[in-house]
Structure 1
Amino acid sequence: MCEDADVTDAPSSPPRSGAQAVERALGVLRCVEVDDHGVSITELAQRTGLTVSTTHRLTRTLTEADLLIQDPRTERYQLGPALVVLGRKAEQRLGYRQTLPLLEELAAVTGESINLGIRSGNEVRVVLDVVSPQPLRFSQEPGSRVPVHVSAMGKCLLANSGDIDDEINRLGDLVRATHRTITDRDQLRRELELVRERGWALNDEERNPGVRAIAAPVLQPGGGLVGAVAIQGPTVRITDNRLPELAALLGETTHRIAPLLVAPSGH
């Protein structure tokens, strides 16, 4: 979903501040981000709750800045080339590019797909992805977002962000994805306490049937939480007897990449 609760455009509303204009523009970009086939003006207006004229004004400004492009044949909007440049600079400055060889090394050793994720509100945003060479595999593309409570990376981020009860209280409804999803807050609390104690988390078919993931937090020497790294694959390969080995490999990898990453200022 690409919704913004504050983007309604009633004629009688007071003039919008600069911050509200930025929020509207971000809402448009998020809508285009999640649609691989492009989005029309009418669809953007419907999804953001803005009027067509306001949406057209925003898309024109974003297109002039190369943050969006419009397909001349379909008149649908896609993300623009300026975002590629900005993304590459951010990837370099935040340290993600330097960590990729270490994630590729982990994928080669385990034979499974690897993700690096960060917290974005009550979701995990996948930043880097290394796909398993196996024919039967599971992977998540960069930019993918997953609710924290159904993700091994998310559990790591929750367990290491501060007071566990406070973190759980901020989550709102714990939506069920499969019959194994943890939707009970007391059960989630016990799970997060275990994650904090042992240093790694398990997603046991809690988001996708037949898929398991094991993850560990990326903690800087000073204690700052930078993100989390996950190994994920089918349950037939990520078995209980492999978990200790995979946890040890994750611990080694996260220890090596922690100094390379810039810690976020908050979530």
Structure 2
Amino acid sequence: MLPSETRRVEAVQTACSIIDALREVNSIGVTALANELEMSKSAVHAHLVTLADCGYVVSDAGQYRLSLQFLEIAEHVKDTFGQYDVIEEELTRLADETGEIAQFATDEHGKIIYLAKAEGKNAVRTSSSIGRRGDMHSTSLGKAILSEMPRDKVDSILDVYGLPRKTPNTITDRERFHEELVQVRERGYTIDDEENITGVRCIGVPIEGKGDTILGALSITGPSSRMTDERIREELLAVLQRSANVIEVNVKFS
């Protein structure tokens, strides 16, 4: 589902903006937060007090931060996602076997959401983290999910977010991007060829859910020096498809 164009409640939007801002810092005062959001101190303070009363914000000597209640919410959301424990087990297996980063993501509101991640002994550091949102067009995970969608649905996502350039290799032409998705469907896997981060390549595969749904996608990420076409074809694709199959079987027959 993409962001809605229906009527919005301004107070809720303000509360969401405050929560998003608090997520980026350890703690912050009312004045600093009001300046960052370009709002009045009284309005920000009123929202913070309300959020604190509801248990979502903690006040400590005039500094505000998100409460640990978000941990409970996150655990609840994670538990509602099918076979999360199996996904984590397969990511750990992939990371240990390949030495690289293994990740699982799903899509929400036209973005990918990283739900699980495991790092092998040779893993490179990337900006992805559990819960983080990312663009679909420049990642192997996102392209894997998009490849399972009809063209009109892909276009509706591109209409909202476009094809912003992340690196010199990012595909920014819509027709070329659709051609890329056709190739993905034919070969059964995606490649992020330094399209999201320079020097980093990824291979991804879609994972089917129950019925005709797409649960998400699975990927292996590493430096381009190790993620060669030969290694992808002769080593990584087989282990990635094996893990995807394990997850799919558990999801469909759970």
What's the TM-score bracket when you normalise by the shorter of the two chains? 0.7 to 0.9
Preserved CA contact (<8 Å) 1:158 1:167 = no
Provide the rounded CA distance (Å) in 2 between the counterparts of 1:36 and 1:115: 25
Paired AA for residue 90 in structure 2: L
Indicate which of 96, 121, 136 corresponds to 1:133: 121
Q: Which residue of 2 aligns with 1:10?
A: none
Q: Which residue of 1 aligns with 2:54?
A: 65
Preserved CA contact (<8 Å) 2:27 2:65 = yes
Provide the rounded CA distance (Å) in 1 between the counterparts of 2:63 and 2:226: 42
Paired AA for residue 226 in structure 1: L
Preserved CA contact (<8 Å) 1:91 1:97 = no
Paired AA for residue 52 in structure 2: T
Paired AA for residue 114 in structure 2: V
Provide the rounded CA distance (Å) in 2 between the counterparts of 1:155 and 1:224: 16
Unaligned runs of 5+ in 2: none
How far has the Cα of 1:208 moved from its partner?
A: 1.2
Provide the rounded CA distance (Å) in 1 between the counterparts of 2:103 and 2:247: 13
Q: Which residue of 2 aligns with 1:148?
A: 136
Provide the rounded CA distance (Å) in 2 between the counterparts of 1:259 and 1:90: 22
**Structure-to-structure mapping, 1:1-267, within 5 angstroms:** 19-33=9-23, 35-48=24-37, 50-72=39-61, 75-95=62-82, 96-134=84-122, 136-138=124-126, 140-163=128-151, 166-167=155-156, 169-244=158-233, 245-258=235-248
Provide the rounded CA distance (Å) in 2 between the counterparts of 1:148 and 1:42: 36
Preserved CA contact (<8 Å) 2:101 2:124 = no
Distance change in 2, residues 1:127/1:39 (3 Å): farther
> Which has the larger displacement, 147-156 or 216-225?
216-225
Provide the rounded CA distance (Å) in 1 between the counterparts of 2:56 and 2:250: 28
Q: Which residue of 2 aligns with 1:9?
A: none
How far has the Cα of 1:92 moved from its partner?
A: 1.9
Provide the rounded CA distance (Å) in 2 between the counterparts of 1:140 and 1:104: 16
Provide the rounded CA distance (Å) in 2 between the counterparts of 1:21 and 1:126: 28
TM-score, normalised via structure 2 length: 0.84
Unaligned runs of 5+ in 1: 7-15, 263-267
Preserved CA contact (<8 Å) 1:38 1:77 = yes
Distance change in 2, residues 1:92/1:150 (3 Å): same
The percentage of counterpart residues that share the same residue type is: 29
Q: Which residue of 2 aligns with 1:13?
A: none
Distance change in 2, residues 1:135/1:228 (3 Å): closer
Paired AA for residue 151 in structure 2: D
Distance change in 2, residues 1:29/1:45 (3 Å): same
Provide the rounded CA distance (Å) in 1 between the counterparts of 2:186 and 2:124: 32
Distance change in 2, residues 1:253/1:135 (3 Å): closer
TM-score, normalised via structure 1 length: 0.80
Provide the rounded CA distance (Å) in 1 between the counterparts of 2:63 and 2:173: 42
Instruction: Give the total of aligned pairs.
Output: 245
Preserved CA contact (<8 Å) 1:139 1:232 = no
Preserved CA contact (<8 Å) 2:87 2:116 = no
RMSD: 2.7
